Amino acid sequence: MSKPIRASSILPGHREDIELHTADGLRLVGELARPVDREPVATLVCLHPLPTHGGMMDSHVFRKAAWRLPALADVAVLRFNTRGTSSIRGTSEGAFDNAVGERYDVAAAIEYAEFHDLPNLWLLGWSFGTDLALKYGCDPAVAGAILLSPPLRYSAAEDLARWAESGRPLVALVPEFDDYLRPAEARERFAAVPQAEVVGVPGAKHLWVGDAERVLDEVVRRVNPAVPLPLPTTWDGPMETGDVSAYADRTVASFADRPVPGPPQSRAR
């Protein structure tokens, strides 16, 4: 009998706690979720929002990706806490470094995926994580990047130029009512990358509350286009229920009312 897939639904998958080791000597905690009985077609390396504003590997879009996509889309999902970030999984060593030392965190995640022969590697950045993807993710091992709510706060013109020169796919999902960068301005800023695709999402906001399913559909459309969309909203097989309250979905913290570290940036109107 089909059961609805809810925010707390955990579909079948092989999930294991992992550790990443950075070139500057830190241990980062994470998780790798894979399909149960077959090899993944693609791999997502998730780069989470600002830890100073509640971002972590369990931020709700990434958690839902890990709980659903191995079963629904044959996609492996690698999530981890950047330096100094805490979640239910644990706390990564080090301290938040304003997108400087985090370059080693991104490199460690890509290296882990390469070493474990994970296929078709895509970066999935969200907010702060999009800046990490743009600054440090244009690696030969990376097939492309998908950016959720990119503020373009820490990344610079030379980062966009590097992606432009690489020719690798770059997809930006930009909420209509984003707090930092809205679709029209995003199209202007990403024009520096000829192959960049900017997708404006009507009605959505920076934190994607209530819009995770739309995000997952757009992600799967790029990384495994053979999968029929939209993704199913019901499941016929075994299903577990996660304790969503235990994850303390801290990304609902109000960015608008709290100072964001990093270079100054004008807000989208």
Question: pLDDT at residue 263 above 80?
Answer: no
The answer as to whether 85 is a domain residue is yes
- Tell whether 268 is covered by a domain: no
Local structure of 244: helix, strand or coil? helix
Residue 68 forms part of a structural domain: yes
CATH number of the domain to which 96 belongs: 3.40.50.1820
Kindly state whether residue 5 falls inside one of the protein's structural domains.
no
Contact 130, 208 (CB under 8 A): no
**Structural domain includes residue 265:** no
Does residue 57 sit within a domain? yes
> pLDDT at residue 17 above 90?
yes
- Structure tokens given for 209: 């509350």
Selection from 78, 104, 81 nearest residue 93 by Cα: 81
Q: State how far Cα 3 lies from the chain centre.
A: 27
Residue 267 lies in a domain: no
Q: Is residue 249 part of a domain?
A: yes
Query: What mean pLDDT, rounded, does the chain reach?
Result: 93
Q: What's the DSSP call for residue 81?
A: P
Three-state secondary structure of 144-161 = EEEEECCCCCCCCHHHHH
The count of domains in the chain is: 1
| H-state helical runs in 86-191 | 102-115, 128-136, 157-166, 183-189
Q: Which residue has the tokens 């800046």?
A: 131
pLDDT in tens, 68-125: 999 999 999 999 999 999 999 999 999 999 999 999 999 999 999 999 999 999 999 9
* Residue range of the domain that includes 225: 12-257
pLDDT tens across 134-162, in order? Answer: 999 999 999 999 999 999 999 999 999 99
Taking 90 as the threshold, does the pLDDT of residue 256 lie above it?
Answer: no
